Structures are given as C-alpha cells and as structure tokens.
C-alpha cells in the first residue's frame, strides 16, 4: 500500500468545466530547451516570416527535440531569456501576423513502431506531465517492454487538465495510447486512474469497452499515486529497482496529454504547438482549463482572466506539491507546463525537528526524512546518500506533513546538488 498523503484535491472548481480556447497571443516565446536533453538548434533567422506549425528548431543529437512556431508571423527576436523556472536559454520570439492556419504534415499511412517514433520526433513531442523527456526516445526502450501504462492519475491538487482531456477527447487519447503501446512493443496496455475521477472513468469504460487490449485500473486517491514508480507498484506489485527506470521491470509509462499529441501527430499531422493546462488557485475569480499556444506569456494568460493580486501573491507552475514558484511573470508556457496556479503564500515558521516521525509514515519511498535532515544539518552529504537520498523523488509529502515546518524536500534537493 502506497504510504503518501491524503490531501484535499481542490479539483472541484475546474473538473466539471469544458476546456476553453484562448485567443492567439500577440507574440510567443519559444524556448530552445523545453525538454530533458540537448537544446534544439534554432533554424530560423530574425525577421523571417514563419507559418503556424512550421519547425523553428531542430534536435541536436538523439535526446533532443523539434520545436514549431505556435503562431504564424514574423520572428521578432532570437535571444536569451529566462524560463519560468529561472533557467535561461535561447528563445525564438514570434510576433503574430496574418493567417493562423496550421501547416500540417502528411498523416502517417504505414503505421509501424519506426514510423510512429519518427513522426513523434518530427512533431516535437516531449513528455507533457512535467519532466519533458523526448517522447521519441521514450518510445524506443532499451529493454523489452511488456506493459504500457497510460498515467491518468493526475494526483497533484488543483490540476484537472488530463481529466478534462479524457472526458472530452477520450477516443483520441486512447487511440494515441494504442500507438504508444505499439511503438514500445507492449502486448498489454493499462490505464491507471484515481477513483475520484468518476466522469472520466465512465467515459474510459465506454471507449475501451470491448477491445480487450486495454485494461482500466482504478486506484485509490492518494498523493503521489501518479508518480510512475508508485503507479507501477500499485498495479503490478513490482518495484522499479533503486536507480532504475520503468523499463527495468518491463513497463513504459505515458502521460495523457502526450498520448493525445501522439494521436494528432500521427493521424492528423499536427505538431505539438498547443497544450491544455489548468489555471486555478484561490486568487482567481474563475478557475479554468485552457488550451493555449506553447510560448504564450504567463502574464497574458493571467491578465485574460480575473486575478486578485496581493503582496503575497504567488504564481506556481505545475502542481502545488512538485511545481515551482515563478519570479518572472514575463516568462512563457512550455510544452511541460501542466498548470498555472495563483495563490497566496502562507507563513511558515520553522522549528527544530521534534522527532514525531510523521515524515517516516508518509514517505512513499521508505526513507527516513528525519534522519536525512539531521545529516543535512551536519553537512554530511555522503551520509545522506547512504540513507537513500538519491531514491528521494521530491514528492513533498514529508515537508507537507512536517508539523515543525522543516523544508525537508528543499533540503534534500540541496543535498543532491552537493553530491
């Protein structure tokens, strides 16, 4: 049984509302690094006219990605800009002009693992759950895979983008998942979903119904059920070895948004130029799921909706448990941006650890955060490593539960950097 935490989901404000489209932004900022791996190489010049859907950057090496213009217009600038997470990288800034019809690729006719992979690469698809691993690489596992997983857990509070995609576009997502399953060479497909997503479960049952190749696995709602190792163990009982990856136990796990993108790339020839994300939080008048062009400025999105701003306003990218706080509102949406949350920073007072052991009870990895914390305070980073620091997935359960307000997760991230 997954340890983890029972946490209020805050999903009710968005899970019943249709995904809204946003008007095309005046300009987009396309970072050359939206993924894990080598930066993409920019292939357009300043002042060049680009069409919506045209490639503006190419992969450098195998673990890299294509990047496409998400709006049509003129390349206004090619410069170094900060991403929402604060890292700076080269970016293409496009100003909107004229026609916004998408320049599509030819749909793939002969569907084989190779043709799926090469199309996924051409479409610039990366893991859209947050990690941003280039999908074409993930679809070519180094070890044989028997089971493909569609991860529909979306266990982070507030986020309902995947849930809405499943309700509104289940057929395409499931078809995309079938393509993924074919590409990785898996015989079996399993959709893992948490039991609070009643509507989505109903739709999925209908869509997968009689096919038999895809199984639905309804899991209890516990954070972090959607972390891939936890999902694999909950469904199969197998544990991914320490330091290993899912393919070490014959499994490959994929995100809902990614599967939709794979479907659209293969069957419609559409590159990854837009995504659905959840805009939510206590500081918003209306919480919504929106479909936005990649590269839309965070400021533009927030200004489009009504937001209450106060001195302690905080903008988070991703979920509130593993996401990060933005300090530059002029950074832009990336392929991996699953949510934008606007909330108020609460005050946390830090006390010395009281040794209550609540962190041990909630750690899904079986670590003893209290002990890691002691080693960190004593600057014994090697000691942290021998206590399993590298197995920490930074889910935040320990820091969430800590009554003493010790920023445990932050300290473990810092400890990893010291190694």
Partner 1 sequence: MEKKEKITRLTVGPAPHLKSSLTIEKMMWWTAAALLLPSAGGVYFFGMKALLLIVSCSAAALLFDAAGQYLRGLRVQLTDGSAAVTGILVALILPPSFPVWAAVLGTAFSILIVKHVFGGLGKNIFNPALMGRAFLTAAFPVLITTYSINCRTLPGYDAKMSGAGTEAVTGATPLSGIKFENAVYSGDSHLNFFLGQKKGSTGETSGILILAGFIILLANKVIDWRLSASYFMAIFGFSGALWLTDPVANVDPFLYMTLGGILLGGVFMVTDPVTTPVTGRGKWIFGIGAGILTVVIRNFSGYPEGVMFSIILMNSVTPLINRMTRPRIYGT
The closest alpha carbon to 184, from 109, 251, 272, 110, belongs to 251
Identify which of residues 104 and 345 has a Cβ nearer to partner 1 in the complex.
345
Applying CB under 8 A, among 44, 78, 170, 315 the residue interacting with partner 1 is 315
| Cβ nearer to partner 1, comparing 72 with 157 | 157
Given a contact cutoff of 8 angstroms between Cβ atoms, the answer to whether 48 and 54 are in contact is no
Q: Is 79 in the site for partner 1 (CB under 8 A)?
A: yes
By CB under 8 A, tell whether 312 contacts partner 1.
Answer: yes
Compute the least distance from the CB of residue 364 to partner 1, in Å: 7
Residue of the chain from 144, 306, 348, 382 that contacts partner 1 (CB under 8 A)? 348
- Pick one of 107, 113, 383, 388: the residue that binds partner 1 (CB under 8 A): 388
C-alpha 85/C-alpha 323 separation (Å) is: 9
Q: Can you tell me which of 187, 213, 286, 327 binds partner 1, judged by CB under 8 A? A: 327
Cβ proximity of 255 and 276 under 8 Å? no
CA–CA dist 405, 351 (Å, integer): 6
Residues in 214-233 that interact with partner 1 by CB under 8 A: 229, 233
What are the residues whose beta carbons fall under 8 Å from the beta carbon of 292, sequence distance 6 or more?
22, 25, 274, 275, 276, 277, 301, 333
CB 390 within 8 A of CB 243: yes
Which of 164, 33, 21 has its CA nearest to residue 91?
33
Cβ distance to partner 1 smaller for residue 102 or 316: 316
Q: Which residue has the tokens 């052991």?
A: 357
For the chain, the distance separating the N- and C-terminal CA atoms, rounded to the nearest angstrom, is 31
CA distance 366 to 359: 10
Compute the least distance from the CB of residue 106 to partner 1, in Å.
39
Count of chain residues binding partner 1 (CB under 8 A) = 70
- Asked whether position 346 contacts partner 1 by CB under 8 A, the answer is yes
Chosen residue from 235, 365, 380, 381 binding partner 1 by CB under 8 A: 365
Q: Tell me if 143 sits within 8 A of 248, measured CB to CB.
A: yes
356 vs 419 by CB, closer to partner 1: 356
* Separation of alpha carbons 215 and 213, rounded Å: 7
- Residue of 43, 35, 125 whose CA lies nearest to 78: 43
Give the range of 67-75, 132-140, 236-244, 270-278 binding partner 1 by CB under 8 A.
236-244
Of 62, 71, 58, 63, nearest to 32 by C-alpha is 58
* 313 belongs to the binding site for partner 1 (CB under 8 A): yes
Measured between alpha carbons, how far is 146 from 368 in angstroms, rounded to an integer? 33
Question: Of 222 and 359, which CB lies nearer to partner 1 in the complex structure?
Answer: 359
Out of 144, 209, 244, 282, name the contact with partner 1 by CB under 8 A. Answer: 244
Contact residues toward partner 1 (CB under 8 A) are 5, 7, 77, 79, 157, 229, 233, 239-244, 309, 311-316, 320-327, 329-330, 341, 343, 345-346, 348-349, 351-357, 359-361, 363-368, 370-371, 388, 391, 394, 396-397, 399-405, 407, 409-410, 413
């Amino acid at each position: 049984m997954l340890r983890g935490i029972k946490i209020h989901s805050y999903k009710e404000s968005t899970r019943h509302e249709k995904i809204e489209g946003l008007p095309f932004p005046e300009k987009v900022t396309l970072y050359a690094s939206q993924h894990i791996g080598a930066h993409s190489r920019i292939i357009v010049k300043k002042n060049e006219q680009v069409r919506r859907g045209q490639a503006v950057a190419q992969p450098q090496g195998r673990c890299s990605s294509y990047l496409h213009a998400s709006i049509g217009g003129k390349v206004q600038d090619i410069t170094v800009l900060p991403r929402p997470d604060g890292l700076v990288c080269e970016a293409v800034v496009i100003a909107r002009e004229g026609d916004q019809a998408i320049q599509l690729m030819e749909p793939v006719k002969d569907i084989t693992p190779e043709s799926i992979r090469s199309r996924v690469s051409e479409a610039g698809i990366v893991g859209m759950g947050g990690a941003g691993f280039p999908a074409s690489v993930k679809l070519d596992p180094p070890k044989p895979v028997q089971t493909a997983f569609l991860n529909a857990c979306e266990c982070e509070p507030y986020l309902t983008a995947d849930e809405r995609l499943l309700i509104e576009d289940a057929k395409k997502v499931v078809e995309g998942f079938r393509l993924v399953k074919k590409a990785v060479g898996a015989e079996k497909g399993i959709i893992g979903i948490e039991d609070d997503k009643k509507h989505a479960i109903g739709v999925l049952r209908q869509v997968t119904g009689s096919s038999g190749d895809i199984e639905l696995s309804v899991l209890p709602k516990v954070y972090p059920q959607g972390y891939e190792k936890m999902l694999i163990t909950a469904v199969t009982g197998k544990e991914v070895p320490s330091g290993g990856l899912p393919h070490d136990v014959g499994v490959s796990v994929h995100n809902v948004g990614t599967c939709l993108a794979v479907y659209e790339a293969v069957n419609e020839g559409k590159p990854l130029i837009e995504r659905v994300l959840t805009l939510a939080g206590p500081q918003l008048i209306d919480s919504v799921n929106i479909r936005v062009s990649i590269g839309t400025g965070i400021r533009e999105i927030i200004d489009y909706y009504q937001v209450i701003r106060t001195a302690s306003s905080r903008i988070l990218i991703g979920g509130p448990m593993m996401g990060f706080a933005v300090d530059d509102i002029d950074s832009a949406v990336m392929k991996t941006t699953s949510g934008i949350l606007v909330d108020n920073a609460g005050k946390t007072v830090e006390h010395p650890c009281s040794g209550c052991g609540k962190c041990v009870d909630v750690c899904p990895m079986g670590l003893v955060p209290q002990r890691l914390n002691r080693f960190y305070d004593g600057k014994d980073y090697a000691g942290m490593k021998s206590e399993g620091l590298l197995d920490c997935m930074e889910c935040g359960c320990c820091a969430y539960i800590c009554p003493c307000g010790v920023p445990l997760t932050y300290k473990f991230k810092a400890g990893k950097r010291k190694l």
